[in-house]
Amino acid sequence: MRTEAEALLVHAPPTAPPLRATDELLHELQVHQIELEMQNEALRQAHILIEESRDRYVDLYDFAPVAYLTLSREGLIEELNLTAAALLGTERKHLLQRRFSKFVAAESHELWYRHFTNDMQHNEQHSCELLLQHADTSHFHARLDSRHIETAGVSAVRITLTDISEHKRLETELRIAAIAFESQEGMLVTDANSVILRVNQGFTQLTGYSEEEVLGKTPALLKSGRQDAAFYERMWSSLKQKRYWQGEMWNKRKSGKIYAEWLTISAVTDDVGNITHYVAAFSDITQNQEAEAEIHRLAYYDPLTNLPNRRLLLDRLGQGLSGSSRSGRYGALLFLDLDNFKNLNDTRGHDVGDQLLIEATHRIQANVREGDTVARLGGDEFVVMLENLSEGAGEAAIQTKLVGEKIREALAQPYDLSGREFHCTSSIGITLFYDHNESVETLLKHADLAMYKAKEAGRDVLRFFDPAMQTALDEHSALEDDLHLALQLGQLQLHYQVQIDNEQRVVGAEALLRWSHPERGIVPPGDFIPLAEETNLILPIGRWVLETACTQIKAWSDAAATRDLRLAVNVSARQFRQAEFIEQVQQALVASGIDATRLKIELTESLVLDNVDDTIIKMHALKMLGVGFSMDDFGTGYSSLSYLKRLPLDQLKIDQSFVRELATDANDASIVRAIITMGQAFGLNVIAEGVETRAQHAFLEQHGCHAYQGYLFGKPLPIEEFERLLST
């Protein structure tokens, strides 16, 4: 047995280590923990750097200035950056797995397939230029750099695309410019200080100076001495203000010989508008002897504006009268006077006044046709001669007024004269000429008198010499003003003319537009409908007619006597040609809630022939809604079986001009019989308009006409009177 002492010894705890050894262990643990934390922080920072680097790479890839794509062996787009998607005009997700060849224009297909096949067979980098197309099919030029790559044993082609359209455009412009520069005309280019930088071969041939002899010099070495300082001041003033000058110049060749040239100088500016270069082009206009051009110019042209003077105007006016006699068309003279021009000359000097005259010349010329004559009689008086106007005096007057108003408005715009704004209006007198009814001097006198009438009327207006014509034009303008208000003031009405069949039954009516003016009374349709067409007011008016007609059909649908009536509505060419016309008809049908088969649209032959294919498409679309069609005024146009059989018509309407003389004109009778026969052959209903006598009715009925409309059965009536007629 163990002794008590031994037992105590066995169960005693182990002896604790010395205190110093424990502290060292704790210190080592702390150091190890700090090292781990530092390593973790280093790893975290490295991870952040990797993420930032990856983001930078993605940004650099996606937003690179060039397009990157990767194509599969089959030519499918497997990968691309955002620049490539933008270049092809489609979102990136819609481009993946699409064939790249779909974006190659047809003319570049062969080159693309050859290039792609070469890429798949060789590892070298290849380049070519292709014509590609955006998703919207618009084309652009691109440079394509490609290389065959393999990743994990899978072949692909890496492509870089660069849009070179602008480069191609510049190349083309440079080629054109190079060809133009070496034209037969003399050309030179100077810097902003007029130092010559370049000349062409035409310059050398016309002046006798070689390029080496003039480089570094100014065009002053060509001066002849014939133009004074004021001439050059006006030229430089024009270049500074308008960056352009054109006119006749006398210069001197190297040989000392003086010659006349037509010179055009254009200023070249930088992005901020500063002049950097001048480009001049000139041609020799000397004929036989240099003095001949000067004599001719002084004899026939105004030296300030280069416009024909009075002498040349009278000559051209005589030719215009002869031309009018041959063509049977009117011409016109416009006599223009600048209002308050004398005040400008007196207050700011003749140089500023000359600037105004030159600018006024340009504005007048910009508003007439190339063949018309603009002349300066002297001072601030100009004359414009218009030729080949209409064969009718009224229409010729309207054409002349339109030109005159354009000129008047252009001249009334502010002028920039030596840095100061100036306003100047004009008074314009007009007279028409035809054949040799008046002498040229008399015509000028008439136009001059009309101009003074314009000044008396307050200036900045036009006046015609013929008082009756002026009254007619004033009436035309007043009628137009009233027509603008007619719709909104409720002055327009629909009248209804009854249509009957062979059983004397009412089968429908035609809605006819009428204008009841509080002062003019009932305005004839022939007076205001052409005006509505001319001013585009026919569009809102036509829509109102359509909607009103549908509303009336709806009202009739509630009564047994009228629920089966069909209502015909005339549609103008402008109205029918609107892109939204079908939608307008559909809206009117839905809004009124009517049976669409009760609505019939009348179209004229001229409308149909204007664009047959478009007409057929719209007619079929409306036929699907249930709307019917009648060919109005049939026989007055170029009736053709080729288009008639293609049109989804329901009815032919014989024009009243053929019905009127049925009993006395064999030709009209033959035409009516032919139209009825044609309608029967095509399975179309035939209606005759303008039936006024029983003899006409009997003839039409005898030859198979189906329906009738005219004063024999009833005049166009307001709705209340029309419905009373139905009740009888």
What CATH code is carried by the domain that includes residue 108?
3.30.450.20
The tens digit of pLDDT for each residue in 298-311 reads: 778 888 999 999 98
Place 168 in a pLDDT band, splitting at 50, 70 and 90.
Answer: confident
446 shares a domain with 336: yes
**60 domain residue, yes or no:** no
Place 1 in a pLDDT band, splitting at 50, 70 and 90.
Answer: very low
Separation CA 156–CA 148 (nearest Å): 6
690 shares a domain with 576: yes
The tens digit of pLDDT for each residue in 391-412 reads: 988 899 999 999 999 999 999 9
Q: CB of 71 within 8 A of CB of 156?
A: yes
Q: CB of 681 within 8 A of CB of 661?
A: no
List of residues 6+ apart from 266 with CB closer than 8 A: 243, 244, 278, 279, 280
**171 domain residue, yes or no:** no
**16 domain residue, yes or no:** no
**46 domain residue, yes or no:** yes
- Residue 94's CB is within 10 A of a number of other CB atoms, namely 11
276 shares a domain with 153: no
pTM for this prediction: 0.47
The 8-class DSSP code of residue 510 comes to E
In the predicted structure, residue 340 carries a pLDDT above the cut 90: no
The tens digit of pLDDT for each residue in 244-301 reads: 899 888 899 999 888 888 899 999 988 888 899 999 998 888 754 455 656 667 778 8
309 shares a domain with 294: no
**1 domain residue, yes or no:** no
Residue where one domain finishes, among candidates 438, 465, 492:
465
277 shares a domain with 382: no
Residue where one domain finishes, among candidates 160, 193, 208:
160
80 shares a domain with 221: no
552 shares a domain with 434: no
**486 domain residue, yes or no:** yes
Separation CA 391–CA 413 (nearest Å): 33
**By three-state DSSP, how is residue 142 classified?**
strand
Largest CA distance in the chain: 168
pLDDT at 151: 79
Look at residues 517, 516, 497 and name the one whose alpha carbon lies nearest to residue 508. 497
365 shares a domain with 451: yes
**5 domain residue, yes or no:** no
615 shares a domain with 637: yes
Please give the sequence-ordered ranges of beta strands (E in DSSP) within 418-562, or none if there are none: 420-422, 426-433, 462-464, 492-501, 506-517, 521-523
Place 49 in a pLDDT band, splitting at 50, 70 and 90.
Answer: low
Q: Give the DSSP H or E segment for 54.
A: helix 19-62
Please name the amino acid found at residue 621. Answer: A
CATH of the domain at 452: 3.30.70.270
Question: How much is the CA Rg of the chain, to the nearest whole Å?
Answer: 43
493 shares a domain with 638: yes
Helices (H) and strands (E) in the chain, counts: 27, 26
CATH of the domain at 716: 3.20.20.450
Q: CB of 708 within 8 A of CB of 499?
A: yes
Q: Residue 655's domain spans which residues?
A: 481-727
Residue where one domain finishes, among candidates 99, 130, 160:
160
Count Cα atoms within 13 angstroms, Cβ side, for 562. Answer: 18
Number of domains in the chain: 5
Report angle CA 327, 300, 322 to the nearest 5 degrees.
15
Please name the amino acid found at residue 722. Answer: F
pLDDT at 50: 61
**367 domain residue, yes or no:** yes
Separation CA 380–CA 103 (nearest Å): 62
573 shares a domain with 458: no
Q: How far, CA to CA in Å, does 320 sit from each of 38, 315, 700?
A: 102, 9, 52
User: Both ends of the chain: CA-CA distance in Å?
Assistant: 152
542 shares a domain with 416: no
Q: 466 burial class (0-12, 13-18, 19+ CB within 10 angstroms)?
A: middle
pLDDT at 55: 54
